[in-house]
Structure 1
Amino acid sequence: MPFISKIRRQTDYSLFPSSCPIVIDNGGSYFRIGWAGESDPRVIFRNIVQRPRHKSTGESVTVVGDHDPTLLKYFDCTRSGPRSAFDCNVVYQFEIMEYILDFGFDRLGADGPEVDHPVLITECPCNPVQSRCRMAELLFESYGVPSVAYGVDAAFSYVYNQQLGVCNKDGLAVCSGFNTSHVIPFVEGEPVYESCCRTNVGGYHVTDCLKQLLSLKYPQHMSMLTWEKVEDLKMEHCYVAQDYASEVRLFQNGTEEAEEKTKCWQLPYTAPPAEEQPSGEEIAKKAAIKEKQGQRLREMAEQKRAYRITELENEVRGLEFLLRQLEKVEERDIPAFLSDTGYISKQEIGSSLAKVIQSLRKAKGEQVENEDKLDAVLAEKYSLIDIPDSMLTPEQLKEKKKQIFLKTTAEGRQRARQKRFEEELQREREYQLDEEKRLENPELYLEQLRIKYKDLSEKIDQRRRLKMNGGNSYGNHNVSGGVGRGERLNAVQKERMRLLTTAAFDRGKGEDTFGVKDEDWQLYKLMSRDNDDEDEGPDEDEIVLARLSSRLQELDPTFVPKSESALCQPVDAPRARTLTKEDFQVLIGVERFRCPEILFCPNLIGIDQAGLDEMVGVSMRRFSPKGQGFEEKLTRSILLTGGSCLFPGMSERLEAGVRMIRPCGTPIRVIRATDPILDAWRGASVYAASFRFRDQTFSKMDYYEKGEDWLRRYKIRYSP
């Protein structure tokens, strides 16, 4: 499968002789490869592999390291996440490692699968023999490497800085990498792996913690908080606090110093265009268009109303003509006459005529010229009501009962309509009176409305509190509190509760015989009467309160109604606020030192292991005792290396932590490597270019002859 990358391929591979070693710094974060004797590696890329598919063809490609963002236009990278060959800092996925080495050798300029150069590759301290064997097998079998040598990256960095005069031959190397952190003692320039200490905390955990904190703080910007961007924010803004507790209190108090230490990351933001106010001509033009549309709608409504009136009048004339024809037909011929009309009886025709006349009156605006006809039709419709029962047949008696029911129902509906009409008239008169009062003194009228609204709302709130929390009466004062439900029940509910609690005791002691007698079951009828106030609708006070709220909203724009019941008028939801430039800012305050604190206190993320300062003490306790003076030699030269040692304040914090666990007066000197990231590769490059490198390698023949046991004991010497 083809490789996708932004890294250029080297063109001078053939210029190097086969005796020139290839140096590989196989780190958990980055893969660095180059030639021995050079000061910088030729190729550097992320030590990850991704295999996305093409969106249209479905073809898979191999993406090693950092890829071009434009790749996302053609390949689906969401379903295939980046994969690493490491578990902590040990290589265990050699299928992925093969992709990494293929890409590294290809970018270095190798023309074919054979690599005819010795290889020096770094590994972690105390690397398992299985990982060593699989790596040697991969290099020998797949690439035909003539010889291989293994070395520890932290040891190469320490020896390289020792040659530069930065640290002493006896000292400690504190290496904080991507996945893990190590402390390795050095005696006469050689590492003592029996006394080294390791913890599974590194730069990955710091970046992951920062990403989680920012995602929780700004969930609306999670798409912008990618791993690469959070990594850049970590390296640019994070620092190690000298006193974590005091630094936290500084941000809790919100002092000016805390505001100065807070950094801001501005996300891309485009201001919305300013809305221009319409001119007077545009407003007049829109008003004219609106008036024209309203006039057109009114004309259409008038035409529709006239057409409806015409239809109803034709229907009335048709029904009246049908009734006149029925008067001329004999009683026995009526069913045959009505068979083609769709009506069953003369009464049904009269009922239809009454409904049509009512609709006609409504369409004409309650005109009264047809009231006599309607009364006559209704009198004919209920013709059997005034006739005595003795003069009617059984069928006519049934029809009379039906007419009585229909007439009673119609009269009830008419009374209800009349009552609603009178209430509307009464409300209209009250509204006119209120309007007159308002016009006389608007300020006094508005103040009276506010007072009335306040008193009524307090009354309703008090009633709700009594209903929800219960209440006791002491004199004329009602005290609401957290009392039981039995103290806020009404008389009927209390009676139901009494019946329910005493039903089993009315029979006395002994066998429970409730339900033997028929009268026992009358108890359920009493208990099933639900007179609870919770099912009742809104009372008159709530309706009046809703009207007052609506009135105040009309007259006072600054009025804000209280939270009322669901049956009252709902309050309009607040409009969405326009987003500003500040809404697209990510502030990094306490996260700047909280995330790097993981290196000294892994308990912050739930890892029960030692921090860097405690690891120094553990490593020195494991070291073979050689006297107080020798321990002072180690603490005089503590070298910080690795990518996670670049945080500001790292050296000072580690020195303070080591001073807390060492005796008073112990000389302690913590120094940082000249380049904590590249010193491991540079040290390996210098070592591979020296004459002693040939004696430290092993060939494919040695590997097959001596086997895994020899490879377990294999260890190169760093000092000349």
Structure 2
Amino acid sequence: MSICTFDDEKSIPDPVYKNRPGNHIPIVIDNGTFKCRAGYAHDDEPHMVFKSVICRQKGKPDIVGNDIPNVELVRWQLRTPFDRDIVTQYDFEEEILDHIFERLSITSSSVTHPIVMTETICNPNYCRQQMNELLFECYNVPSVSYGIDALYSFFHEQSMVEDALVVSIGYNCCHVIPILDGKMLLNSVRRINVGGAHVDYVMLRLLQLAHPPLATSMSLSRAEYLVRKHAKFVECYNEEIIKWNDPDYYESVVAKYQLPFTAHAQSAINVEEARKKKEVQAERLRQMNVKRRRAKLEEDVQKLNKLITIQELDEEDEDIFLKSLHDLGLASRAELGHEINKLNNSINSVRSKLEEVENGVKPAPAVSQTSKKNLIPEDEVESYVKDLKKQKTELIERREKRRQHRIESAKRRTHASQQRMRILSELAAGQGKKADTFGQRDDDWDVYKEINKDTGHSDSEEEQTKLDEIDNHLREYDPDYSRFD
């Protein structure tokens, strides 16, 4: 069984009729609600067959029928002159007639050929009057004849039959027409408001419900294509269903369609090329890090020089010194010294990393968790887990002691609070402002930390990182471990 594909090719514009016949040859127009057929009466086949739709574009000329490249792309812009099977929009009908006469090589101001046009059964007099007005006053046709397409077909195919029941299946409705003694019994004609359009929409909904992920790919044009290519009328529906339940019959008649898709090209990069590509990306990241570190180094050096300059002002002009500290958001000489020390450490760290890069020293590759696990012998895993748990307990106890100390420092009569007050009183009883050298020595920073216990410690993030690392190792080596143990 072969896989079928949808015929989604763009429509081909209708050609221009090359040899225009004499004026006595009528123009036949089958003005259908789904498709319009037009041509000269002496031809066996219609010269043009196109959908009875018009695409109205803003700022551009209207497009008719087969001149629309892809109907699905502009379906929301499509217009039709029909309301069910009756022409109601005569400005759209005029555009369709202009299109027909232009492709039939009629370029004169009037149409000199007689017109034969189909219409629906029991067409209202007002609608026929409007069509007559359009043909006679707009196109100056010499004469026009209206007829029913189903009866034209019947008398052409069965000219010798006088009694029949004609079933006319249209796009929006169906008609059952009885013929008796070669004449239509108009009072007995019946209309059913179901037609080809309803079949197309039912097919579309069935496909969308059967394949929800492909609902957007199931267009109305593809549903129309399937109906016209594979749908058929059966004499006994129940018997046909029984046949389709047979797997062998199903496989012999089923049609499988492949929706259009874009195949992704498989990259044929081997292992060596992938490694080289990864090295190039790593080198690019290293260069970006070097550039970022150099920018940060330059910024830190400028800031350090500024702080050192302010520190030197302490000996020259205390008012300017204090104002400069306030502008920088620093409260004391101790904070100034701490900032200078921190910048010095940061600058030295960045310079050492830049030197490693310039000397070609690459960072050691990270060892995966699997590799770490393989480095520890199985007989030492238990002791290793105990050691990790001990380290975690010590870190948690150390953190809890600091937290308890901060709580006690907030109380007045605790030993820690009294210790802070003693240090403050000793500082207040010291020398005057002119001879105050507090903050110039590194030991003074220890005093600052002692009286600022509630500010926490800079190593809290490092402790948290260490705890997370211990948790990860314990999860790997101890299956029963929980971080809340």
TM range (shorter): 0.5 to 0.7
Distance 2:299 2:135 in 1: 96
**1:112-131 superposed matches below 5 A:** 112-131=108-127
Structure 2 unmatched runs, 5+ = 1-11, 350-419, 431-447
Who is 2:20 aligned against?
12
Q: Secondary structure at the match of 1:357?
A: helix
State the shift of 1:192 in Å: 0.5
- Partners of 1:88 and 1:179 within 8 A in 2: yes
What code does the residue aligned with 1:88 have? Answer: R
Q: 1:383 to 1:250 in 2, by over 3 A?
A: farther
* Structure 2 counterpart of 1:47, from 52, 63, 69: 52
Contact 2:14 / 2:48 at 8 angstroms: preserved in 1?
no
Structure 1 match to 2:149: 153
Conservation of the 8 A alpha-carbon contact between 2:313 and 2:321: no
- Take 1:219 and 1:38, find their aligned partners in 2: how far apart are those partners? 47
Shift in alpha-carbon separation, 1:386–1:267, aligned structure 2, 3 A: same
The reply to whether residue 174 of structure 1 matches residue 167 of structure 2 is yes
> Could you tell which deviates more after superposition, 96-105 or 344-353?
344-353
**Number of equivalenced pairs:** 383
- What displacement does 1:93 show? 2.1
Distance 1:218 1:52 in 2: 32
Amino acid at match of 2:152: F
Looking at structure 2, the residues matched to 347 and 128 of structure 1 have their Cα atoms a distance apart, in angstroms, of 96
Which one scores higher on RCO, CA 8 angstroms, separation ≥ 6?
Answer: 1
Cα distance in 1 for residues equivalent to 2:426 and 2:305: 33
Q: Distance in 1 between matches of 2:167 and 2:283?
A: 83
Residue 69 (1) aligns with residue 108 (2) = no
Cα distance between partner residues in 2 of 1:46 and 1:281: 55
1:554-580: per-residue Cα shift (whole Å, max 9, x none)?
xxxxxxxxxxxxxxxxxxxxxxxxxxx
Q: CA offsets, 1:269-305, max 9 Å, x none?
A: 4433322233547736864884697499579859966
Per the TM alignment, residue 172 of structure 1 is displaced from its structure 2 partner at its CA by 0.6
Do 1:174 and 1:182's aligned partners in 2 also have CA atoms closer than 8 Å? yes
Shift of 1:198: 0.5
Correspondence for 2:263 among 271, 283, 286? 271
Secondary structure of 1:155 counterpart: helix
1:27 and 1:47 in contact (8 A); partners too? yes
Q: Secondary structure at the match of 2:15?
A: coil
| Match status 1:86 vs 2:76 | no
Q: Which among 127, 132, 140 is matched to residue 144 of structure 1?
A: 140
Check whether the contact 2:310–2:321 (CA below 8 A) recurs between aligned residues: no
Who is 1:469 aligned against?
Answer: none
1: CA distance, partners of 2:299 / 2:95: 83
- 2:341 partner amino acid: I
Post-superposition Cα deviations, 1:572-598, rounded to whole Å, max 9, x if no partner, equal xxxxxxxxxxxxxxxxxxxxxxxxxxx
Question: Secondary structure, in 3 states, of the residue corresponding to 1:66?
Answer: helix
Contact 2:310 2:324 (8 Å CA) reproduced: no
SS at match of 2:152: helix
Q: What is the alpha-carbon distance in structure 1 between the residues aligned to residue 65 and residue 453 of structure 2?
A: 88
Q: Tell me what 1:519 maps to.
A: none
Alignment equivalent of 2:337, drawn from 332, 341, 353:
353
Per-residue deviation, 1:225: 5.2
CA deviation vs aligned residue, 1:158-207 (integer Å, no higher than 9, x gap): 222222x6xx4212101101121000111012111101110222112222
Partner SS for 1:175: strand
| Contact 2:307-2:336 within 8 A present in 1 as well | no
SS of structure 2 residue aligned to 1:352: helix
Structure 2 length-normalised TM: 0.61
| RMSD between superposed Cα atoms in Å | 4.9
Mapping 1:185-584, distance limit 5 Å: 185-214=178-207, 217=211, 222=216, 227-240=220-233, 258=250, 262-280=254-272, 283=275, 287=279, 290=282, 294=286, 301=293, 312=304, 315=307, 319=311, 325=315, 337-339=318-320, 342=323, 348-357=332-341, 360=344, 385-386=424-425, 410-414=452-456, 445=477, 449=479, 452=480, 541=484
Q: Distance in 1 between matches of 2:288 and 2:75?
A: 58
- Cα deviation, 1:48-68, whole Å, max 9, x if unaligned, reads 333435xxxx4x434332116
Contact 1:85 1:92 in 2 (8 A): yes
Q: Are the equivalent residues in 2 in contact too, given 1:90–1:127 (CA < 8 A)?
A: yes
2:413 alignment partner in structure 1: none
The letter of the residue matching 1:188 is D
TM-score w.r.t. structure 1 length?
0.43
Give SS of 1:13's match. Answer: coil
Which secondary structure state, in structure 1, belongs to the residue aligned with residue 179 of structure 2?
Answer: strand
- 2-side partners of 1:412 and 1:246: how far apart? 89
Q: Does structure 2 retain, via aligned residues, the 8 Å contact 1:309–1:364?
A: no
